[in-house]
Structure 1
Amino acid sequence: MIILQVTPLSQNFWVAGLEAIALLALAAYIGWWLGQRTFAVKIEGLHADIDAKRIALDDCKKSKVLVKVAQPPVEVPVAPAPLAVAALAPEPVVPVVPDDLKIVEGIGPKIEGLLNNEGIVTFAQLAATAPERIKEILDAAGPRFQMHDPTTWPKQSAMARDGKWDELKAWQEELNKGRLE
């Protein structure tokens, strides 16, 4: 059995303390030097990337200036025809007011959110969406939503879109979570 005995380099307490401090200082310097070398390589690589990006940016700016200069002047007609004026007039933007899709039997808040994320926010949009597409949306959302059957949702939303609330309620009483029994 080997027994290691740790003894200070020097027998004098003060000299041994100075020796320990000198060894720690040497170890710290070596660690600092290694760190400097490691980070110097990374910093040089980052500077090279920055220089390449600046060159690409300058090339891009030069190409935009050349494109602007190279464009021929646009001719503007003096008196446009009435049809051209009507074609140029912007169409009024009609804000889409989202419907409460939870009225449809089988759709809850989470499924309504999934449909809204796919751009289906009104009864008319849901009525125009094929059940297969709705099933794809549900399948993509994960196993929690894959069990739902959206086959009746477009027809229910068509009734809601058309304002046939009594027919919708009567039909929904026959359904079980949006499915025909």
Structure 2
Amino acid sequence: MPAGIRCVTNHPYAGGRTPVAARRKDYPLNASQQFTWLNYMRVYHRLEYEMNRQLLADCALSLSDYTVMNALSQAGGHRQQLTALATTIGWERSRLSHHLQRMTGRGLVDRVRSESDGRAVDVVLTDAGWDQLRAAAPLHAEWVRTLFFSDLDSRRESQLADILATVYDSLVREGTLPRPD
């Protein structure tokens, strides 16, 4: 590691572990890794911006709203404990709590006492939220098909899916968020 730079391993976000980069002897990134990483970051930021813009313009939902509602739509009874929902979507619990306040005010979700643990809170997709998500899904799917998949043939789609699954597994294994159920 360059002189004067130290890794903080007792930071709350580090989970008391030595950061991955500090454990590697071949850091910094080689030219191919750097090229790949910079391309990924360009795609990540542009994709996040464009998805949020499309959802707001076409569906009156933010990307954050859609992320929460999509996760709840896949949960049994369209409900999930707040902590489990945060883990499912990869957010910190405090971020989710703040966002849920806004969504509750708009009638998209409710927060209720957990059916399985009286100390916990369940997040429930309301009927209005479900209706809005069902209306948004085909519009968003068409956008995804056009902007994300249109230039990929089935072989490249499969390769991309495999690569993303591998990266996700590494994030779950090495990351600091709890493992999703």
TM-score (norm 2): 0.26
TM-score (norm 1): 0.26
Q: Point out which structure has higher relative CO (alpha carbons under 8 A, 6+ apart).
A: 2
Higher strand share: 2
Please identify the structure whose Cα radius of gyration is greater: 1
